[in-house]
Amino acid sequence: MTGSGQTIAFRGVARDFGAVKALLATDLDIMAGEFLTLLGPSGSGKTTLLNIAAGYLAPSAGRVLIGARDVTDLPPRRRNIGMVFQNYALFPHMSVFDNVAYGLRARGVPRADLERRVEAALGMVRLGGYGARGIRQLSGGQQQRVALARALVIEPDVLLMDEPLGALDRQLRQHVQLEVRRLHRQHRRTTIYVTHDQEEALVMSDRIAVMREGRLEQIGDAETLYRRPDNAFVAGFLGESNLLRGVVTAVDGVRARLRVDGMAGEIAGAAAAGLVAGTPGAALVRPESVRVSPAGRFEARLVERVYLGELVALRLALGNGQAVVCRRFARDGAPDGDRLAIDWDPGDVRILPDANSAGTTSNRTEEET
Amino acid sequence: MVLTAARRGHLVTAALLLPALLFLAVCFVVPMAVLFKLSVTAEEGPLSAYGEILGNWVYLRVFWNTLVVAVVVTAISVVLAYPTAHLLTRLKGWALTLAVYGVLFPLWISVLIRTFSWILLLEKNGPVNRVLVGAGLVDGPVQFLFNNTGVLIGMVHVLLPYAILPIYANMLRIDLRLLLASDGLAASPWMTFRRVYLPLTMPGVGAGAVFVFLLSLGFFITPALLGGISNLTVAMLIELMVNERLVWSLAAAASFLLLAAIAALLALATRFVPLGAVLEAR
């Protein structure tokens, strides 16, 4: 399998369903060979964007370009895409071989070449020798890999994946994640991957685009999104976060200060872009940045102690009732008593705009649908 | 003795089955036995009635004609039913309701009334012939009645719902994402139909075809009224033997031969068509 796929670009792409704006005008450029994940809760527009890329859905406005080709008005069959569906959509009346060969037959690939390519694709997903089996004889994970082989064997310009691991159990999901990542590292095929699972996004992606309510909230690599989220929603969606909500009191270039009701003094931290003094904001303190120390500035009550194996999560409450989670290595031992002093390094705090203060204080791993 | 859970389960099953079994025993098994006895008690010897039917080419031609009519009715019904069923899967709301009633409505009217209506429509000076002649499509009135043409029209009309409904039920269960997947893999609409949709709807087509075919083999009213004496079917032959010729042993033997033919064909059909798969949910 050669080549690495094409660039794909969305130019002002939007989609309405009646009065519902499923996708607001979106610009997005994906590089050739890049693995981009669309991450967001249900109803965020990520699947809409994917279906527009595939051609299953026409945009209400905007253009889609694959390479230099404007494919906006082309049906899926003329876009040279590889699509992996949530429940695989394998043809149940065909063998594994015929499923994988389907796209090649549609393209009129000669028989000898076809057989060689199908076998290579099955070998690639570690299903060599499974060609003669029926789809219903395969486990979920195997079906998943057949779907992947079927999408990849045609050497698509873009590989599109719609929550392909949703139906697998957790252990298998982790295994297939690594498999997908390995295949991508080998072949560098341009990939758009849709998921609501932040862990999947972190494991596989070159870049992650976080979406909410039909809008791209932020796009960047995993570390950027985790360490420098642009707003409270992104901070809450990726990783676990403590968000102390309040009012921004001062913005001074790259630093800002925030006042939180019931907390003495102000919280200082790095300023996110677009922060305006006097507007609602939130201070982001990641759980691993919270320290328990006798000299700590903040009084906290221990609510619960959750043992997670290598880590221990301490669920704390500040004087004003604000919940704070602290995560530390289990081997560092448990603090004594349920009255603690905690602190954090101002360098680990980020002050974010908090336009929509919906509950975003815990990480999101619940199933969509 | 204490009943074990398993034994109690068997008893409940037997109790639930009992009414239906009793009904079948009294109203089906006993009459069948009587009929069978009738077929082997002809004056000329036990198997003489069977021998007479199987040895007489006039009777065999009736069986052959019945088979041909059934095959043609089945073929026409399935060909008409397939696009209709597909259309039903695309309709929503009031249009779907209307279309489903359109399919089912004929079932609510007696076959006798529908058959007489066809006589009125298809007769020499009926509306169909007047339109055909008026439009200059034919020189003179077409003879629709009292031949196989009339029988085919009437029977297809009566049996069409039995073809549409299983095909429709099958089509409803097809995962539409399979068609999207085919499209995404660069298949033309024709290839998607030929390689994905058609094979997946074949169980429904098979079930519909089997229903129509089996019902056609035993059809009486429509061929009796719309067909001619030169196009006898087995059902008409049996009626003649019972009511006109009063040779009940021959009628009984003809019934059993038809039954045997149906049983054989059904056994053959179930080898190719998973009838159970069509009826049960996926």
CATH number for the domain harbouring residue B120: 1.10.3720.10
Contact A83 B181 (CB under 8 A): yes
Nearest CB neighbour to A91, from listed B186, B188, B196: B196
Contact B144, B150 (CB under 8 A): yes
* pLDDT of res. B76: 96
3-state DSSP percent of chain A in helix, strand and coil, to 5: 25, 35, 40
Q: Best-predicted range by mean pLDDT among A103-107, A346-350, B6-10, B131-135?
A: A103-107
Q: Do B123 and B3 share a structural domain?
A: no
Instruction: Output the six-digit token pair for A90.
Output: 């394998």
Q: Which residue has the tokens 């066809």?
A: B118
Give exposure, A134-156, as e/b (b: 16+ Cβ within 10 Å). ebeebebbbbbbbbbbbbbbbbb
- Residue B47 domain-assigned (yes or no): no
When computed from its CA atoms, the radius of gyration of chain A, rounded to whole angstroms, is: 24
Residue A344 has pLDDT above 60, yes or no: yes
DSSP calls for A140-158: HHHHHHHHHHHHHTT--SE
Contact A78 B186 (CB under 8 A): yes
* pLDDT of res. A30: 95
Mean pLDDT of A52-66: 95
Q: Which residue has the tokens 């070998």?
A: A123
Closest by CA position to A357, among listed A213, A246, A268: A246
- Residue B202 domain-assigned (yes or no): yes
For the stretch B141-197, pLDDT in tens is 888 888 888 889 889 999 999 999 999 999 999 999 999 999 999 999 999 999 999
Residue in chain A nearest B176 by alpha carbon: A89
Ranges of beta strands (E only) in A189-322 are 191-195, 207-212, 215-220, 242-252, 255-259, 267-271, 280-285, 291-292, 298-307, 311-318
Residue A299 has pLDDT above 90, yes or no: no
Residue A360 has pLDDT above 50, yes or no: no
* pLDDT of res. B9: 84
Lowest average pLDDT, out of A5-9, A106-110, B227-231, goes to: B227-231
- If one counts every other C-beta atom within 10 angstroms of the C-beta of residue B89, the result is 17
Lowest average pLDDT, out of A81-90, A206-215, A274-283, B223-232, goes to: B223-232
Spatial distance between the Cα atoms of A173 and A200, rounded to a whole number of angstroms: 9
Q: Do B33 and B142 share a structural domain?
A: no
Mean pLDDT of B128-141: 83
Beta bridge partners of residue A208, listed in sequence order: A37, A220
Q: Do B127 and B227 share a structural domain?
A: yes
Q: Which residue has the tokens 């037959």?
A: A105
Chain A residues whose C-beta sits inside 8 Å of any chain B C-beta:
54-56, 75-83, 85, 87, 89-93, 102-103, 106-107, 150, 154
Contact A76 B200 (CB under 8 A): no
* pLDDT of res. A3: 54
Domain extent at residue B34: 1-39
SS3 A1: coil
Q: Do B242 and B205 share a structural domain?
A: yes
- Residue B184 domain-assigned (yes or no): yes
Residue B199 contacts A, CB cutoff 8 Å:
yes
Q: Do B194 and B83 share a structural domain?
A: yes
Q: Which residue has the higher pLDDT, A355 or A205?
A: A205
Can you give the length of chain A in residues? 369
Residue B198 has pLDDT above 80, yes or no: yes
Split at pLDDT 50, 70, 90, the class of A104 is very high
> Following CA atoms B70, B83, A108, A193 in sequence, which dihedral angle do they give, to the nearest 10 degrees?
-130
Pairing of strands A191-195, A158-162: parallel
Long-range pairs, B173-176, Cβ under 8 A, ≥24: B173/B281, B173/B282, B174/B200, B174/B201, B175/A87, B175/A89
Mean pLDDT of B251-265: 88
When computed from its CA atoms, the radius of gyration of chain B, rounded to whole angstroms, is: 24
Q: Do B252 and B154 share a structural domain?
A: yes
* CATH number belonging to the domain at A8-225, selected among 3.20.20.70, 1.20.58.220, 3.40.50.300, 3.30.365.10: 3.40.50.300
Instruction: Output the six-digit token pair for B250.
Output: 């021959």
**Phi/psi of residue A116, nearest 5 degrees:** -65, -45
For the sheet with A69-70, list strands across it. Answer: A20-30, A8-17, A61-66, A69-70
Contact A154 B180 (CB under 8 A): no
- Residue B235 domain-assigned (yes or no): yes
Q: Do B144 and B33 share a structural domain?
A: no
Closest by CA position to B225, among listed B159, B150, B160: B150
Distance from CA of A111 to the nearest CA of B (A): 17
Into how many domains does chain B fold?
2
**Residue A291 one-letter amino acid:** R
Spatial distance between the Cα atoms of A103 and B182, rounded to a whole number of angstroms: 8
Lowest average pLDDT, out of A110-119, B49-58, B101-110, B268-277, goes to: B268-277
Ordered alpha helix ranges (H), B4-110: 5-24, 30-39, 48-54, 57-90, 93-104
Q: Do B265 and B182 share a structural domain?
A: yes
* pLDDT of res. A46: 93
B-chain CB neighbours of A93 within 8 Å are 199-200
Split at pLDDT 50, 70, 90, the class of B276 is low
* pLDDT of res. A362: 37
- If one counts every other C-beta atom within 10 angstroms of the C-beta of residue B140, the result is 9
Q: Do B97 and B232 share a structural domain?
A: yes
Contact B184 A87 (CB under 8 A): no
Residue A369 has pLDDT above 50, yes or no: no
- If one counts every other C-beta atom within 10 angstroms of the C-beta of residue A200, the result is 23
Q: Do B146 and B17 share a structural domain?
A: no
Which of A47, A50, A93, A136 best tests the B interface by mutation, with the highest count of B CBs <10 A? A93
For the stretch B106-128, pLDDT in tens is 888 888 888 888 888 888 888 88
Residue B200 contacts A, CB cutoff 8 Å:
yes
For the stretch A128-154, pLDDT in tens is 889 999 999 998 889 999 999 999 999
Spatial distance between the Cα atoms of B223 and B232, rounded to a whole number of angstroms: 8
Spatial distance between the Cα atoms of A98 and A108, rounded to a whole number of angstroms: 14
- Residue B187 domain-assigned (yes or no): yes
Distances (CA, A) of B265 to A292, B182, B261, B273: 82, 36, 6, 12
Domain boundaries defined on chain A: 8-225, 241-353
For the stretch A180-212, pLDDT in tens is 899 898 889 999 999 998 888 988 999 999 999
Q: Do B71 and B16 share a structural domain?
A: no
Residue A2 has pLDDT above 50, yes or no: no
> Following CA atoms B82, B86, B89, B90 in sequence, which dihedral angle do they give, to the nearest 10 degrees?
-160
Which of B185, B194, B195, B196 best tests the A interface by mutation, with the highest count of A CBs <10 A? B185
Provide the mean pLDDT of chain B: 86
Residue B188 contacts A, CB cutoff 8 Å:
yes
Spatial distance between the Cα atoms of B276 and B166, rounded to a whole number of angstroms: 11
Under 8 Å CB pairs connecting chains A and B tally to: 60
Domain covering A241-353 assigned CATH 2.40.50.100 in the classification? yes
H or E element: which one contains A340? Answer: strand A339-343
Respond yes or no on whether ipTM tops 0.85.
no
- If one counts every other C-beta atom within 10 angstroms of the C-beta of residue B247, the result is 16
Split at pLDDT 50, 70, 90, the class of B282 is very low
